[in-house]
């Protein structure tokens, strides 16, 4: 049975390589998240405030990215732009792909701001950019944090797709080790464990954060 | 000071205000009473440019509010024009609408700094004076979520006054408060009414307050004024049937 | 462009087969995910701590480890059990379990948000636990679940794109092939992305039909026939109370 095939020696041997891969995974997640959070906000603001001529194509592009597979987008960008490194392409595409989700999160947040806030700002004659900066966005970002966090965790779990464009993150490290040793059992199991140990506590933390953030 | 000139407001097929004419003099305190849906709140919202007018013109101090003069003709106002005229008018809302991400002090000083161009020090000094007037001097650094409804509404009044408006619109400002908190707010408003010559348009169900503070009371029904007069006359000797029925039900 | 179109026409059979494989994975995975979600989503709400805990562990494990880890685990590791596992089976299994775990949370949330008074009324009428779930709670929860399920379904479709890495000739494999034969990245991937987009839309449309019917059964919306008719005024008249 599987139990009989397990080798603690092999497992131990795999850890340093898996750890290297894991570091790449974390790096990709962090950079991708920064791109996604920032770009998503820009998209959401454009959709709310820009004239139809600009807002509609932006929205269409964002939906297109959201509804098509990350893997295909990665392969596409990697083939199209050979002058960039795999990690650069991977992080950027990951960021752009998730920015479309973030934009939806922000959009929900913007719509959740009570109408009275807009009216009070208007009653005080606050100019639009000030209304956004001082009143609306702080409330939107605060209420969006849990969803942003959840998207970050999703992104973390999607980083393995970067292996399709030769980025050596955690799962491809496991795969390489497994191929070299003719035994994938320990490497893949440990990779799964890495993911679980990173994502589960984070999700729990985000859930707690959500409860504490309500005004 | 304020003139509604054949003002019409429609929502789809529903006509809320039907060719309404009325004026309010400078410094006058006018209370609007009437059943829900009679259009009283709509009048305030139109003045505050929270809604757009369907027909007619609203004048404030001789300047058109909802329109602008271009080449001698009146055309619907653009946002820029609205922003200039709107500065004269302030509003206090039923739901307070304080900005939850800012402290009390920040709520009050935000507009004076960014709209009136005051310096932070000037704005804060004025804010502290106003907080004294509304009885919340020690709450300057608190956040709205830490205050009771009555306290939040008093901050909202201070925030409105910080802009030195010439016209103050009060939209059922005590309707969302627990009964024991209502009096403090009304006291502040009574104070303002008696000591300043701000023009006030008040929509309220607090009839005693209306009697104390108003120079004139207007009874609305179905988008038209059915009766108007000094508070003594309206409340003790209403002449119109609708007014009688309404007051009987409410008082 | 002509050369591209020629290559495309030549590649059509392969692309079509790729679409079929992708759809097999999607629909097979979705079915398994649905069953798994219903099962886990209800079991995780029972009173028995041991059973609840086991369900919770299953949900967290399949949500918390990545889809690709699961796919590779089934592909590389399960054969150790002695089975010659078909790649298609591996794919459907991984997709079903992974998205089923996410679905379980949706089911759980929806079941929990059926108003308590409904449950109490059922108890007062002496409904047994299964009857309560089956006749009162689930029908009301179902309408709430559908939008999130639609979301997950589209995610599942996108997740099938790694199938070529466990030797399945899916749509993505077809696109990569097309690119190799035309040398035109923009053209091949453009077409490929469009096909995925169309598939996503079709799935969403199908789920919208399901949602409309679910809402209508609860008296909360127009019937499918009314929605599809071209007379918007009629729809307004028959619209029930909005949830």
For the stretch B112-169, pLDDT in tens is: 999 999 999 999 999 999 999 999 999 999 999 999 999 999 999 999 999 999 999 9
Q: Do A200 and C64 touch (CB under 8 A)?
A: yes
Residue B228 CA to its chain's centroid (Å): 19
User: What is the distance between the alpha carbons of residues B66 and C139, in angstroms, rounded to a whole number?
Assistant: 52
Torsion angles phi and psi, residue B65, rounded to 5: -85, -50
CA atoms within 13 A on the CB side of A191: 34
102-141 of A, contacting C, C-beta below 8 A? none
Q: Whose CA is closest to B196, among B218, B166, B162, B173?
A: B166
According to the model, what pLDDT value does residue A1 have?
Answer: 47
User: pLDDT tens digit string along A13-44?
Assistant: 899 999 999 999 999 999 999 999 999 999 99
Residue B132 CA to its chain's centroid (Å): 22
Neighbours of B54 (CB within 10 A): 14
Share of chain C above pLDDT 90, in %: 44
According to the model, what pLDDT value does residue C38 have?
Answer: 93
Decide if B233 touches A, using CB distance below 8 A: no
Q: Do C196 and A199 touch (CB under 8 A)?
A: no
Q: For residue B171, what are the CA distances in angstroms to B73, B99, B178, C198?
A: 33, 18, 16, 51
Searching chain C, which residue's CA lies closest to the CA of residue A200? C64
Contacts for A39 with CB less than 8 Å, ≥ 6 apart: A95, A96, A99, A102
Contacts for A66 with CB less than 8 Å, ≥ 6 apart: A97, A100, A101, A104
Structure tokens at A60: 């269409």
Residue C179: its chain A contacts at CB < 8 A?
Answer: 79
Average pLDDT, chain B: 89
Q: Indicate the pLDDT class of residue A2, thresholds 50, 70 and 90.
A: low
Q: Whose CA is closest to C65, among A157, A57, A209?
A: A157
Choose the closest CB to A125 out of B86, B156, B159. Answer: B86
Q: For residue C85, what are the CA distances in angstroms to B213, C81, C243?
A: 86, 10, 46
Q: Do B50 and A138 touch (CB under 8 A)?
A: no
Residue A129: its chain B contacts at CB < 8 A?
Answer: none
Choose the closest CB to B115 out of A117, A119, A126. Answer: A126
Residue A64: its chain C contacts at CB < 8 A?
Answer: 193, 197
User: What is the distance between the alpha carbons of residues A74 and A69, in angstroms, rounded to a whole number?
Assistant: 9
Q: For residue C166, what are the CA distances in angstroms to A171, B1, C74?
A: 14, 79, 10
Choose the closest CB to B115 out of A125, A138, A139. Answer: A125
Neighbours of B97 (CB within 10 A): 25
User: What is the distance between the alpha carbons of residues B169 and C210, in angstroms, rounded to a whole number?
Assistant: 49
According to the model, what pLDDT value does residue C6 have?
Answer: 81
According to the model, what pLDDT value does residue C241 have?
Answer: 39
Choose the closest CB to C72 out of A69, A157, A175. Answer: A175
User: What is the distance between the alpha carbons of residues C161 and C200, in angstroms, rounded to a whole number?
Assistant: 13
Whether residue B69 has pLDDT greater than 80: no
CA distance A80 to chain C (A): 6
- Touching partners of B (3+ C-beta pairs < 8 Å): A
User: What is the distance between the alpha carbons of residues A59 and A46, in angstroms, rounded to a whole number?
Assistant: 9
Q: Do C197 and A68 touch (CB under 8 A)?
A: yes
The per-residue pLDDT string of chain C (243 residues; one tens digit each, 9 = 90 and over) reads 777 788 788 888 889 999 999 999 999 999 999 999 999 999 998 889 999 999 999 999 999 999 999 999 998 888 877 777 788 999 999 999 999 999 999 999 898 888 888 888 888 888 888 888 888 888 888 888 888 899 899 999 999 998 888 889 999 999 998 888 888 888 889 999 999 999 999 999 999 999 888 888 877 778 777 777 655 444 333 334 333
Kindly list the residues of chain A whose beta carbon comes within 8 Å of any beta carbon in chain B.
114, 116-117, 119-120, 122-127, 130, 134-135, 138-139, 142, 215
- Whether C and B touch (3+ CB pairs < 8 Å), yes or no: no
Q: Do A68 and C196 touch (CB under 8 A)?
A: yes
Q: Whose CA is closest to B135, among B114, B158, B118?
A: B158
User: What is the distance between the alpha carbons of residues B39 and B53, in angstroms, rounded to a whole number?
Assistant: 13
Average pLDDT score over residue span B192-197: 90
According to the model, what pLDDT value does residue A3 have?
Answer: 59
According to the model, what pLDDT value does residue C53 have?
Answer: 93
**Alpha helix (H) residue ranges in chain B:** 40-47, 79-86, 104-114, 120-133, 149-161, 179-195, 207-213, 231-236, 241-250
Searching chain A, which residue's CA lies closest to the CA of residue B164? A124
Q: Indicate the pLDDT class of residue A7, thresholds 50, 70 and 90.
A: confident
Environment class of B40 (CB within 10 Å of its CB; exposed 0-12, middle 13-18, buried 19+): buried
Q: Indicate the pLDDT class of residue A69, thresholds 50, 70 and 90.
A: very high
Q: How far apart are the first and last CA of chain C?
A: 52
Choose the closest CB to C66 out of A185, A195, A200. Answer: A195
Q: Do A184 and C77 touch (CB under 8 A)?
A: yes
CA distance C219 to chain A (A): 27
User: pLDDT tens digit string along C178-196?
Assistant: 888 888 888 889 999 999 9
Q: What dihedral angle (degrees, nearest 10) is formed by the CA atoms of C225, C228, C232, C237?
A: 20
- Touching partners of A (3+ C-beta pairs < 8 Å): B, C
Residue A120: its chain B contacts at CB < 8 A?
Answer: 93, 97-99, 156
Residue with tokens 């009679």: B38
Environment class of B57 (CB within 10 Å of its CB; exposed 0-12, middle 13-18, buried 19+): middle
Neighbours of B23 (CB within 10 A): 12
Q: How far apart are the first and last CA of chain A?
A: 54
Q: Do B83 and A215 touch (CB under 8 A)?
A: no
Residue A130: its chain B contacts at CB < 8 A?
Answer: 110, 114-115
Searching chain A, which residue's CA lies closest to the CA of residue B89? A123
Q: Indicate the pLDDT class of residue A4, thresholds 50, 70 and 90.
A: low
Which of A11, A75, A78 should one mutate to test binding to chain C, selecting the residue with the greatest count of C CBs within 10 A? A75
């Amino acid at each position: 049975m599987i139990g009989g095939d397990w080798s603690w020696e092999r497992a131990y041997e795999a850890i340093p390589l898996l750890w290297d891969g894991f570091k790449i995974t974390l790096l990709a997640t962090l950079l991708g998240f920064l791109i996604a959070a920032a770009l998503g906000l820009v998209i959401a603001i454009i959709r709310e405030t820009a004239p139809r001529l600009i807002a509609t194509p932006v929205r269409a592009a964002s939906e297109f990215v959201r509804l098509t597979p990350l893997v295909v987008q990665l392969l596409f960008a990697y083939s199209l732009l050979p002058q960039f490194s795999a990690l650069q392409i991977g992080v950027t595409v990951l960021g752009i792909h998730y920015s479309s989700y973030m934009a939806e999160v922000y959009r929900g947040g913007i719509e959740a701001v009570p109408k009275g806030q807009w009216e009070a700002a208007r009653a005080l004659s606050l100019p639009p950019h000030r209304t956004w900066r001082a009143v609306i966005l702080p409330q939107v970002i605060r209420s969006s944090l849990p969803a942003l966090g959840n998207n970050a965790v999703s992104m973390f779990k999607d980083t393995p797709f970067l292996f399709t464009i030769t980025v050596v993150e955690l799962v491809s490290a496991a795969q390489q080790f497994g191929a070299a040793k003719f035994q994938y059992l320990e490497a893949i199991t440990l990779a799964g464990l890495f993911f679980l140990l990173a994502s589960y506590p984070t999700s729990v933390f985000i859930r707690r954060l959500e409860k504490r953030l309500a005004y | 000071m304020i003139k509604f000139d054949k003002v019409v407001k429609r929502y789809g097929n529903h006509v809320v205000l039907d060719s309404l004419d009325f004026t309010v003099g400078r410094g006058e305190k006018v209370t609007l009473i009437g059943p829900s849906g009679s259009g009283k709140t709509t009048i305030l919202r139109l003045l505050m440019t929270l809604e757009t007018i369907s027909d007619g013109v609203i004048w404030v101090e001789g300047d058109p509010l909802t329109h602008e003069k271009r080449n001698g003709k009146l055309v619907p106002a653009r946002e820029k024009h609205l922003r200039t005229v709107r500065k004269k008018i302030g509003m206090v809302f039923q739901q307070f609408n304080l900005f939850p991400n800012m402290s009390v002090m920040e709520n009050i000083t935000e507009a004076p700094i960014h709209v009136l161009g005051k310096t932070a020090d000037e704005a804060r000094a004025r804010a502290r004076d106003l907080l004294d007037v509304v009885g919340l001097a020690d709450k300057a650094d608190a956040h709205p979520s830490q205050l009771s409804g009555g306290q939040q509404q008093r901050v909202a009044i201070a925030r409105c006054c910080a802009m030195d408006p010439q016209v103050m619109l009060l939209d059922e400002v005590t309707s969302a408060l627990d009964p024991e908190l209502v009096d403090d707010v009304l006291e502040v408003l009574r104070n303002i009414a008696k000591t300043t010559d701000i023009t006030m348009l008040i929509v309220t169900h607090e009839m005693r307050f209306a009697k104390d503070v108003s120079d004139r009371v207007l009874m609305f029904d179905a988008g038209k004024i059915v009766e108007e007069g000094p508070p003594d006359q309206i409340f003790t000797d209403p002449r119109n049937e609708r007014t009688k029925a309404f007051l009987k039900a409410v008082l | 462009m002509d050369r591209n179109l020629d290559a495309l026409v030549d590649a059509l059979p392969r692309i079509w087969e790729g679409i079929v494989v992708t759809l097999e994975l999607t629909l097979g995975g979705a079915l398994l995910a649905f069953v798994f979600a219903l099962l886990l989503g209800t079991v995780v709400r029972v009173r028995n701590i041991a059973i609840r805990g086991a369900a919770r562990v299953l949900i967290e494990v399949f949500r918390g480890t990545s889809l690709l880890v699961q796919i590779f685990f089934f592909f590389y590791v399960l054969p150790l059990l002695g089975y010659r596992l078909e790649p298609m089976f591996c794919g459907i299994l991984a997709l079903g379990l992974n998205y089923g775990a996410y679905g379980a949370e949706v089911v759980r949330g929806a079941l929990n948000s059926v108003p308590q008074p409904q449950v109490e009324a059922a108890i007062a009428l002496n409904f047994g636990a299964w009857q309560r779930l089956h006749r009162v709670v689930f029908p009301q929860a179902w309408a709430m679940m559908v939008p999130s399920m639609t979301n997950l379904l589209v995610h599942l479709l996108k997740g099938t794109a790694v199938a070529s890495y466990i030797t399945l000739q899916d749509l993505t494999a077809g696109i990569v092939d097309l690119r190799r034969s035309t040398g035109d990245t923009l053209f091949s991937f453009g077409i490929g992305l469009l096909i995925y987009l169309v598939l996503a839309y079709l799935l969403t449309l199908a789920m919208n039909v399901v949602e409309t019917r679910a809402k209508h059964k609860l008296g909360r919306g127009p019937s499918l026939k009314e929605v599809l008719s071209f007379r918007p005024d009629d729809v307004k008249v028959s619209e029930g109370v909005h949830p």
